[in-house]
Amino acid sequence: MAEMPESTPEGSRRNRREYGGGVSNDTAVKENSHPEAESLIEEAVEQENMLRAYRRVVANKGAAGVDGMTVEQLSDELKAHWQETKGRLLEGAYRPQPVKRVEIPKPGGAGMRMLGIPTVTDRLIQQALLQVLTPIFDPGFSEHSYGFRPGRGAHQAVLQAREHIEAGNRWVVDIDLEKFFDRVNHDILMARVARKVKDKRVLKLIRLYLQAGIMDEGVVKVSRAGTPQGGPLSPLLSNIILDDLDKELEKRGHKFCRYADDCNIYVKSQRAGERVLESISGFLEKKLKLKVNRKKSAVGRPWKRKFLGYSVTAHKKPLLRVAPQSVIRLKSKVKVILRAGRGWSVGKTIDVLTPLLRGWYTYFSLAETKNVFEELDSWLRRRLRLILWRQWKRPRTRAHKLQACGISP
């Protein structure tokens, strides 16, 4: 990328850290958090912050938005129009473009999930905003919140959940929010953002992103609620509104883990769990205007439920295991690849499957029961043998090949 145009000379110490994906630096956060700051937009468009945002957007790649511009074309676009775009941002006159509607299947085939893909330029601006907003909001988030936060992740949430169960909280309240990212109330969210952000240009820009609309088959549909998944700002905004839930659970003294909109509360009895489910559902629906999916939300034993793809055994000291649904989901993905790759050699098939399998095994490396991995290994080898069997076709060829493998006539 060509050098970004020069920005305000004072710059910002906050922008000397990689924030928005890396591990946070507590000292830097304390020094640079200015809840009453009224010049956040200047910090967002400061040259060093924009360069880091650019690198992040390019690294994430992603599809083009409604304007058709790709990540590879972003550098030339910035050379030609950055000063003009920056001026509109500083004046509060910038207008985001609608997001592009993309649907992807939900895990397990339970319908489709809608993604909203912003233009590359809007992704860049959102990423720049994320980098200056994260140090303001993140230090105030709950210790029990693990999703989309610097230095935190799903593995920490799973380990914390196991600790709660081991401590005797052997019932779980599994709360499912129905279409959470589509139902976030804009007024409630913006009120939470305004508690710490005083720059009216930033507040206006965030609301404009929320209301930018969705382009579907050439028609722009107005967004009256929700934070479309696909933009860099959406994860932070989801944490901001759900922080009210975290604080309410902490105030009540509950043991819980939350990763994005996936929240599990651990209690000591079924009766207590049913009481908690009812009261917290009421809090979410009345206070935050979110809808709890009553069919999917339930009180149950942790070893009969799943959390972030994991489950546990029923031992007094529970062991982490891969949830059965996660195995089914992996097999479905493998079958899709194998169907698409009919005619491939075994070698090419293995090359295509390896990134998927390596990522899956890495994510589930915390599992303490290994039988599922042995069963999967056997299943995968059988699928690969089936490829060879189809390729050999004729009985004579099969007999010859099997004898070459050491099998007696």
The pLDDT tens digits of the residues spanning 224-280 come to 888 878 889 999 999 999 999 999 999 999 999 999 999 999 999 999 999 999 999
Q: Do the Cβ atoms of 288 and 159 come closer than 8 Å?
A: no
Instruction: Report yes or no: 346 and 384 within 8 Å, Cβ to Cβ.
Output: yes
pTM above 0.85, yes or no: no
What local confidence, expressed as pLDDT, does residue 22 receive? 37
What backbone phi and psi angles, to 5 degrees, belong to 252? -85, -5
Burial class (CB in 10 A: 0-12, 13-18, 19+), 27: exposed
3-state secondary structure of 371: helix
Residue range 24-63, pLDDT digits in tens = 333 333 334 454 456 899 999 999 999 999 999 999 988 8
Residue 109 — very low, low, confident or very high, per pLDDT cuts 50/70/90? low
Note the pLDDT of residue 307: 96
Average pLDDT over residues 194-204: 95
Amino acid 388: pLDDT: 85
Q: CB of 20 within 8 A of CB of 134?
A: yes
Q: Which of 140, 151, 147, 107 is nearest to 19 (CA)?
A: 151
Nearest to 265 by CA among 387, 375, 144: 144
The helix or strand, by DSSP H or E, that contains position 255, with its residue range, turns out to be strand 255-259
The yes-or-no verdict on residue 75 having pLDDT over 90 is: yes
Nearest of 148, 181, 154 to residue 306 by alpha carbon? 154
Q: Which residues contact 90 (CB under 8 A, 6 or more apart)?
A: 41, 42, 45, 201
Q: Which helix (H) or strand (E) holds 263?
A: strand 262-267
If one counts every other C-beta atom within 10 angstroms of the C-beta of residue 53, the result is: 26
- The 10s digit of each residue's pLDDT in 160-192 is 999 999 999 999 999 999 989 889 999 999 999
Q: Which of 173, 158, 165 is nearest to 264 (CA)?
A: 173
Which residues neighbour 108 within 8 Å (Cβ) at sequence distance 6 or greater? 325, 328, 329
Residue 9 has pLDDT above 80, yes or no: no
CA distance to 197, 330, 361, per residue, from 366 (Å): 39, 17, 9
Provide the percentage of residues in the chain whose pLDDT is more than 70. Answer: 89
Q: To 10 degrees, what angle do helices 395-404 and 371-392 make?
A: 130
**Coil, helix or strand for 243?**
helix
Q: Are 258 and 144 in contact (CB under 8 A)?
A: yes
User: What is the structure's pLDDT at 115?
Assistant: 81
| 366: pLDDT strictly greater than 80 | yes
- Whether the pLDDT of residue 17 is over 60: the answer is no
Q: What phi and psi, each to the nearest 5 degrees, are found at residue 182?
A: -90, -15
In sequence order, what E strands does 3-128 have? 99-105, 112-117
- Tell me the per-residue pLDDT of 296-328, one tens digit each, with 9 for 90 and over: 999 999 999 999 999 999 999 999 999 999 999
